[in-house]
Chain A
């Protein structure tokens, strides 16, 4: 039962090693870079936290910007703050229905296949498009007389800059994210769920409305929040299509429409304006506005985490 003839005990190749030097260096580099990344991220977060707290006064949130020479008189950023909220809402109000519609069509219908492929590519392309290009496109598009009703016309020249104009282009920025997320959510639903619904005689569209979309709600919500995050972070489109006036300049006195046809600003435009490279050059105000904007972005990020976290513990499709 024990060893009899001595069998040659094979030793591994004598030149084999467990951890080569290059492996150790590689692992070391990974650690270094990982920690460096944390350090840089911490530096950025702390920097803006400190500067933001230093310069953010509550009154900044409720007063409007004013053109003045001394900093104490230039006011706060109430209108830009509201501008961010308004634009974000408007842009997503367009992007979400359109995006969900496109996602549903791509996922559940998708004929003719030529159109489906082109649509997929177009949305992908849109996702990678620089917003300057979109802004430039909108800058000319909205000066067309036919679209003059969306902004102001003075002396026969269409201004082309308004909340409507900016929202329209910003919806294109948020659209790909909504489409991608919703599609993913729909495709994650196994086919037997659809078959069960068809088997009781429900139409495809009713199935989609009653069964699939509710199930894909976390994905839609995630896509919406991601899209909104992109929209409120954008500066180029705002610069070209919103007019950059410090306060809201309504086009006429009609309550809501007048405002939306008029010009204004957002937090991003305000920050750009007040950076040292901008005309306003008031870094303190810029810090304060940056802090508030970051809070919005953080809130959206947290929202996405919450939705994803909750959806993971939700009913699975087994």
Chain B
């Protein structure tokens, strides 16, 4: 009888140890895979960066023609061409992303505040599921709506004939534009931000709000000065999350932004909003046939590497931003 117990204990690893090793191995494999992916992308991207140096990020030349040249050099087995100055693409990415995030931030903050504190109960019951629903709509559907509704709207009703004529030699104003991309991207990322902001605001202890009200401060001010101020880290985290999403959005943007490697010029005045462009993520999608051509492949991977790096940085910032709130014992 007693021997059974001893035998049990001697039988190699215990159940727990085996489980720990097994699960730990699983985690290790997944992490290794992700790190390998990182390394792989940067490895494949290297030739493009090596050939262009920092000029990769700069301007110079027509980026569409450069892409074509790169593709052809690989297709037709001539000497590989890597010349690539991605500035118009980068600029387009910056304008669209920053524009959408800025508008969405203001809107999402006010809507979240409204939803949590000031909306009547019936309206709140509608808003919350609607926010969640909009946050889960596939991007291709947003793109569809954009192409079929927003782009014609802009092209036919907002852009005047004279404006179109003014820029005809260089580009075509068809409605697929910065404005379309920013508008739809805003509608796409706002629900995510609203959901994150709302979670953070909800986590603020009611005692603080009641304490402020009991001092004679009105409800709006109370909520703003106490809850929103306390939830500042969540605001940062939500914004960063939305920025990463906006940055990486390829499908919808490729459908509505115009597909031309053109850097929209703010100096053009109102026409600036109507100019077509092509952000980085959309560039990848539009050139996927080029993967067979090695120089093209490296160039695409270089673009992917830039996106990968940016979103990793944003994730890190978002994580770091959430920490201060835990100090108050408020866990969103």
Contacts and interface: CB of A to CB of B under 8 A. Distances in A.
A and B touch in the complex (CB under 8 A): yes
Contacts of B158: none
Nearest to B133: A301
Contacts of A133: 41, 248, 304, 307-308, 311
Contact of A48 (B16, B28, B145, B311): B145
A240 interface: yes
Nearest to A27: B220
B326 to A, nearest CB: 14
B127 A34 contact: yes
Interface string A40-73: 1100110110000000000000000000000000
Given A128-B244, A133-B307, A19 B218 contact: yes
B16 A205 contact: yes
Main SS at interface, chain B = helix
Interface in A132-157: 132-134, 136-137, 139-141
Contact of B139 (A26, A31, A136, A235): A235
A276 interface: yes
A11 to B, nearest CB: 13
Contact of B41 (A101, A111, A137, A286): A137
A98 interface: yes
Contacts of B136: 229-230, 233, 297, 300-301
Contacts of B250: 130-132, 236
Given A26-B220, A203-B14, A297 B137 contact: yes
A206 interface: yes
A33 B31 contact: no
Measured as residues with beta carbon below 8 angstroms from the partner, the interface class of chain B is: 35 or more
B330 interface: no
Contacts of B166: none
Given A34-B123, A132-B285, A136-B301, A233 B138 contact: yes
A85 interface: no
A121 B137 CA distance: 27
B249 interface: yes
Contact of B251 (A41, A235, A286): A235
A205 B21 CA distance: 11
B41 A290 contact: no
Given A128-B315, A130-B281, A139-B291, A30 B114 contact: yes
A132 B247 CA distance: 11
A301 B129 contact: yes
Name, among B119, B254, B308, the residue most crowded by chain A CB atoms within 10 Å (CB to CB). Answer: B308
A213 interface: no
Given A19-B220, A271-B144, A301-B132, A34 B31 contact: no
A131 B248 contact: yes
A29 to B, nearest CB: 6
Interface in A290-318: 290, 293-294, 297-298, 300-301, 304-305
A301 B135 CA distance: 10
A47 B312 CA distance: 36
Interface stretch (A102-110, A245-253, A257-265): A102-110
A258 to B, nearest CB: 25
Contacts of A290: 140-141, 144
Given A30-B113, A139-B291, A125 B284 contact: no
Given A132-B248, A239-B285, A125 B26 contact: no
A41 B291 contact: no
17 contacts: A19-B220, A27-B220, A34-B123, A48-B145, A101-B26, A122-B34, A125-B34, A129-B248, A131-B250, A133-B304, A133-B307, A137-B41, A204-B20, A205-B16, A235-B251, A277-B255, A290-B141
Given A48-B141, A301-B133, 8 more contacts: A24-B220, A31-B114, A98-B30, A128-B312, A129-B248, A139-B291, A232-B138, A239-B285
Interface of B: 14-16, 18-20, 23-24, 26-28, 30-31, 34-35, 37, 40-41, 44, 107, 110-111, 113-115, 118-119, 123, 126-127, 129-130, 132-134, 136-141, 143-145, 147-149, 187, 190, 194, 216, 218, 220-221, 224, 241, 244-245, 247-251, 254-255, 281, 284-285, 288, 291, 297, 300-301, 304, 307-308, 311-312, 314-316, 318-319
